[in-house]
């Protein structure tokens, strides 16, 4: 009897040891974000009006079919992860996701139309706000805890890397739209204060749940996306939106510095690529682009074309366009942004970003 008990304890000890060593040997990432980082969650939200489920989304990624990314190729998070040797985490709603996949690859909770605030993007009907993404992350922790136990689970999530990349929808699909109460309830300064107070609460919860190594992506010149240009009376960038992005970046950067000094074992990095993206938009030829003010995928002269569809017309050379659709950068622009963030994050030993997956054949594109 004593021998059986000892043998049982030895086996349990060995299994726990394997679990802990497995966690130590595999660092994965957990991504929280919006359509700039979504890799398929919204495509599985049946009622969502923000989906990348139709051609020609994904035309330069893998088999060229739509995969949930709101671009023709890779996201910024894809490229940074590849450069730093981290696996690409699948979407939370990917049918293949299970405990083993999570332990090997992490999870991407990003959702098109989502924001820091719960009320952001409500007209998309279905989307995950950051609070909802954090709630779903808690469910992931409980799932892994049942498999590994508390000690190994805590270590796994504390060793992981975290990306938080939201904020533009809180302006474009909330504060700057008169249909939302926030547009008249706040002014520019008080709205950003409200965003920072909310983001602080969210980052504190994430830290409590184990997020120790965390990167926050800043906002780009959102007043220069094609949608904002076409909605202006001049066709130029909307400078108020750009100033709000700059104010957000300044406040978020300070917030991260403050939290890093207050929270134990916190390593927080803020990635601000605003200046380089702004320069690309104002001087596209300097960076190898031909167009920085209109989307590669559009319905010809019908603007704004809020999404890319099989009826859309593609530009002649997708690598020469900064923007893929009215909202989102192209794969080429994402690579440039990722390289800038890699420098800002200090990943000096990172490999160069991998090339985009082999492009699918394009359907006789024509110049716009």
If residue 99 lies in a helix (H) or strand (E), which one and from where to where? helix 99-105
Would you call 207 a catalytic residue per the annotation? no
What tokens does 257 get? Answer: 């510095």
| Whole-angstrom distance, CA of residue 20 vs CA of residue 148 | 8
| Whole-angstrom distance, CA of residue 32 vs CA of residue 103 | 17
**Torsion angle (degrees, nearest 10) of CA 157, 162, 167, 169:** -80
| Whole-angstrom distance, CA of residue 160 vs CA of residue 101 | 14
Would you call 325 a catalytic residue per the annotation? yes
Residue burial 28-42, b: 16+ Cβ < 10 Å; e: rest:
bbbbbbbbbbbbbbb
CB 60 within 8 A of CB 69: no
Strands (E), the chain: 29-33, 106-108, 161-165, 213-217, 267-271, 291-295, 297-298, 313-314, 321-323
Q: Catalytic pick from 37, 278, 328, 332?
A: 328
Would you call 129 a catalytic residue per the annotation? no
Instruction: Supply the residues annotated as catalytic.
Output: 35, 325, 328
């Amino acid at each position: 009897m004593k021998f059986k008990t000892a043998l049982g304890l030895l086996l349990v000890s060995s299994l726990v040891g394997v679990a802990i060593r497995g966690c130590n040997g595999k660092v994965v990432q957990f991504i929280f974000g919006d359509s700039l980082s979504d890799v398929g969650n919204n495509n599985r939200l049946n009622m969502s009006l923000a989906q990348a489920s139709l051609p020609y989304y994904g035309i330069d990624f893998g088999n060229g079919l739509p995969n949930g990314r709101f671009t023709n190729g890779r996201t910024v998070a894809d490229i940074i992860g590849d450069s730093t040797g981290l696996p690409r985490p699948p979407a939370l709603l990917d049918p293949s996701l299970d405990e083993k996949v999570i332990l090997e690859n992490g999870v991407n909770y990003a959702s098109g139309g989502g924001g820091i605030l719960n009320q952001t993007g409500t007209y998309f009907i279905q989307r995950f706000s950051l609070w909802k993404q954090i709630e779903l992350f808690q469910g992931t922790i409980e799932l892994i805890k049942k498999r590994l136990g508390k000690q190994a689970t805590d270590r796994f999530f504390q060793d992981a890397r975290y990306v938080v990349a939201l904020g533009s929808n809180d302006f474009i699909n909330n504060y700057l739209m008169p249909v939302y109460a926030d547009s008249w309830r706040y002014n520019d300064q008080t709205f950003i204060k409200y965003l920072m107070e909310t983001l602080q609460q969210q980052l504190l919860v994430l830290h409590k749940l184990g997020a120790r190594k965390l990167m926050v992506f800043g906002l780009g010149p959102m007043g220069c996306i094609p949608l904002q240009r076409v909605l202006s009376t001049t066709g130029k960038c909307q400078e108020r939106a750009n100033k709000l992005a700059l104010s957000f970046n300044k406040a978020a950067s300070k917030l991260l510095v403050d939290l890093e000094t207050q929270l134990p074992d916190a390593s927080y990095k803020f990635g601000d690529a605003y200046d380089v993206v702004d320069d690309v938009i104002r001087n596209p030829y300097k960076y190898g682009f031909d167009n920085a003010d209109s989307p590669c995928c559009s319905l010809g002269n019908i603007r704004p074309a809020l999404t890319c569809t099989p009826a859309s017309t593609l530009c002649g050379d997708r690598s020469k366009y900064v923007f893929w659709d009215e909202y989102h950068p192209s794969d080429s622009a994402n690579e440039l942004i990722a390289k800038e963030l890699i420098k800002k994050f200090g990943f000096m030993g990172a490999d160069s970003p991998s090339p985009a997956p082999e492009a699918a054949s394009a359907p006789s594109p024509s110049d716009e």
